Amino acid sequence: MPQAMERVEYVEYIGALYRSDSRRVLATLIRLLGGFELAEEAMHDAFTAALESWPRNGVPENPRAWLISTGRFKAIDRLRRDARFDAALTAIADQLESSAAGPSSLHEAGGSEGLEDDRLRLIFTCCHPALTPDARIALTLREVCGLGTEEIASAFLVPAPTLAQRIVRAKGKIRDAQIPYQVPAREALAERLDAVLHVIYLVFNEGYSASLGESLTRHDLSSEAIRLGRLLMELLPEPEVLGLLGLMLLHDARRATRTSADGDLVLLHEQDRSLWNQQQIHEGAALVQRALASRRFGPYTLQAAIAAIHAEAATAAATDWRQIVGLYDVLLRVEASPVVELNRAAAMAMRDGPEAGLLLIDAILARGELAKYYLAHAARADLCRRLGRVPEAIAAYKRALELARQAPERRFLERRLAELHGAAI
Amino acid sequence: MKYLCLIYDDEKKWETMPKEKAGAIQGEYMAFTEAIKKSGQYLAGDALQPTHTATTVRVRQGKISTTDGPFAETKEQLGGYYMINAKDLNEAIQVASRIPSARDGSIEVRPIMVFE
């Protein structure tokens, strides 16, 4: 700990501590105080108190424990003050003061497992399946990541009041329906962990697909999701947690090469592999290996394994399509979905030729589930193009263009159409 | 904490259900009720007559108006309820998931409001 700092240095030190530790402090205060609102106020009171006290008395030996016990006392004070208007609060304040988890036990527990559990409790509570998916995302980014309401709102392109409402409602439900502040019991863990992983995956995807667009704030969501993934892995290293983190790292490693300098879409086989983030690819691939070795892996690990094969191929031509098709087969057994089938069909086209892929895609399209999915038509168009079936390719690109939303995707399809028209003449 | 578990199910399916199957489900309900009585979670519970017996009552401008049928026509109808005791929502969800109708119908879990 720095000795004899100037006042401004204390302010900087406390600011840095806020960024690194405020979520941990909050997570423990929610447990001690039994509610989000009271804990948030207490946390801010504690940091304010630190700004007053530390420049005079020096930084305490265990700053985090100091902040937690100060926050707790500030909350009790606050309840006592408000108790003049509401007698019921006196009882709550008394109860909090005499509760077992006193400040001394906190000092002893500084940085120990008990407090790490609080962060896990916070994650599981924010991602509770009794909350709407939108609320889970908003609450997780707000409470676990510490992002501001405005920041989250602009990242998800919703008005700030709407997002604030969503968070208030979610906290209201946690309080009124009594969603417990708990890491789920073993028998419920797998299912509840799925909900947490899904929130992280959605946050990542929101940022990843936005990286095609303009907004920088939105693509920061990918980094935030990776941070969340790392935190979860530190707290609960289950195979699918490793798998999801690996998947995100492997996708993110290619982010810079997915669009050209003009913002145009660059397909995987045309990307400049020398610009892929090798360190992230190594880390992601190692996580996939660990997850696979556990033999308890699931869909995230399988998707990550596919991403790893792509990322580790020296050239697009060197891609091991046989293995990719095999992994898609397993993925279909674990989690059947038409989108997975479509991806498998594209891999089959690479392994056995466009004809084989086209047969599969036509069968999927005939079932109708993906009739409005632009990538299904774009994939069909690409295979027809490779087979020299120009009019069919043009028709499919046109259909894809009707359905595509993002500007770079649309420009890509238009380019392909123009090329085909050129070829047809 | 008290939670009300509202059981929503397609009441029409009871009309066409073979007797043995209806009897089996009733047996499951009795076993479930017995189990939550033993565990101390049961507070109350009833099955309701079908919605064709329902009357919806409103008072407008001081006058009582009644209409035949349930408040809202839906694909699944309120067919019964359990009032239970659970320490938190997780436990309430656990209990609700064991109600036989949860398998093909839906259970709405609502915490009971406490007035101080």
Does the pLDDT value for residue A228 go beyond 60?
yes
What percentage of chain A carries pLDDT values higher than 90? 73
Check whether domain A320-425 has CATH 1.20.1530.20, yes or no: no
Q: What single letter denotes the amino acid at residue A182?
A: Q
| A85 compared with A290, residue with greater pLDDT | A290
Distance CA A407, CA B77 (A): 46
Distance CA A145, CA B20 (A): 55
The arithmetic mean of pLDDT across residues A348-375, rounded, is 95
Inspect the interface and report whether the beta carbons of A184 and B90 lie closer than 8 Å.
yes
Inspect the interface and report whether the beta carbons of B88 and A179 lie closer than 8 Å.
yes
The arithmetic mean of pLDDT across residues A213-235, rounded, is 82
The arithmetic mean of pLDDT across residues B40-50, rounded, is 96
Comparing alpha-carbon positions, the chain B residue that sits nearest to A88 is B116
Partners of residue B1 in chain A, C-beta under 8 Å: 178
pLDDT digits (tens, 9 = 90+) for B69-100: 898 888 899 999 999 999 999 999 999 999 99
Partners of residue A182 in chain B, C-beta under 8 Å: 88, 90
Partners of residue A184 in chain B, C-beta under 8 Å: 90
Chains A–B, number of C-beta pairs less than 8 Å apart = 23
Does the pLDDT value for residue A187 go beyond 90?
no
Comparing alpha-carbon positions, the chain A residue that sits nearest to B116 is A88
Q: How far is CA A312 from the centre of its chain?
A: 24
Inspect the interface and report whether the beta carbons of B111 and A184 lie closer than 8 Å.
no
CB atoms within 10 A of CB A117: 16
CB within 8 A of A242, min separation 6: which ones?
A233, A287, A288, A290, A291, A301
pLDDT digits (tens, 9 = 90+) for A55-70: 999 999 999 999 999 9
CB A254 within 8 A of CB A266: no
Smallest CA–CA separation between B9 and chain A, in Å?
20
Strands, E assignment, A295-415: none
Q: Which of A88, A130, A188 sits opposite B89 (nearest CB)?
A: A130
Partners of residue B109 in chain A, C-beta under 8 Å: 177
**Distance between terminal CA atoms of chain A?**
75
Looking at residue A103, its pLDDT comes to 46
The arithmetic mean of pLDDT across residues A315-321, rounded, is 95
Looking at residue A2, its pLDDT comes to 53
Inspect the interface and report whether the beta carbons of B89 and A182 lie closer than 8 Å.
no
Distance CA A157, CA A147 (A): 15
Distance CA A256, CA A275 (A): 7
The arithmetic mean of pLDDT across residues A412-423, rounded, is 89
Smallest CA–CA separation between A341 and chain B, in Å?
28
Partners of residue B112 in chain A, C-beta under 8 Å: none
Distance CA A223, CA A249 (A): 9
Looking at residue A263, its pLDDT comes to 81
CB A129 within 8 A of CB A175: no
The arithmetic mean of pLDDT across residues A24-53, rounded, is 95
Does the pLDDT value for residue A424 go beyond 80?
no
CB atoms within 10 A of CB B30: 11
Distance CA A138, CA A203 (A): 10
Averaged pLDDT of chain A = 89
Inspect the interface and report whether the beta carbons of B116 and A88 lie closer than 8 Å.
yes
The arithmetic mean of pLDDT across residues A84-108, rounded, is 65
Looking at residue A107, its pLDDT comes to 43
Looking at residue A241, its pLDDT comes to 97
Cα torsion angle, A105, A110, A116, A121, sign: positive
Partners of residue B116 in chain A, C-beta under 8 Å: 88
A23, A244, A387 from A233: Cα distances, Å = 17, 10, 46
Does the pLDDT value for residue A102 go beyond 60?
no
Comparing alpha-carbon positions, the chain A residue that sits nearest to B111 is A177
Inspect the interface and report whether the beta carbons of B111 and A178 lie closer than 8 Å.
yes
The arithmetic mean of pLDDT across residues A316-343, rounded, is 95
Partners of residue B93 in chain A, C-beta under 8 Å: 130
Comparing alpha-carbon positions, the chain A residue that sits nearest to B114 is A176
Query: What strands lie across the sheet with B2-9, from one edge to the other?
Result: B42-47, B77-85, B2-9, B106-111
A108 band by pLDDT with thresholds 50, 70 and 90: very low
Helix (H, G, I), strand (E, B) or coil at A265: strand
- Residue B77 pairs in a beta bridge with B9
pLDDT digits (tens, 9 = 90+) for B102-111: 999 999 999 9
Looking at residue A49, its pLDDT comes to 96
The arithmetic mean of pLDDT across residues B23-28, rounded, is 95
Helix (H, G, I), strand (E, B) or coil at A129: coil
| A379 compared with A98, residue with greater pLDDT | A379
Partners of residue A34 in chain B, C-beta under 8 Å: none
Interface pTM (ipTM) of the complex?
Answer: 0.82
Cα torsion angle, A379, A381, A386, A389, sign: positive
Q: Domain coordinates of chain A in residue numbers?
A: 7-110, 320-425
Q: Please tell me the pTM assigned to this model.
A: 0.85
Smallest CA–CA separation between A269 and chain B, in Å?
47
pLDDT digits (tens, 9 = 90+) for A370-403: 999 999 999 999 999 999 999 999 999 999 999 9
Inspect the interface and report whether the beta carbons of A177 and B89 lie closer than 8 Å.
yes
Looking at residue A256, its pLDDT comes to 85
Smallest CA–CA separation between A136 and chain B, in Å?
16
pLDDT digits (tens, 9 = 90+) for A153-186: 988 888 999 999 999 999 999 999 999 999 998 8
The mean-pLDDT minimum among A80-84, A101-105, A137-141, A189-193 falls in A101-105
Does the pLDDT value for residue A109 go beyond 60?
no
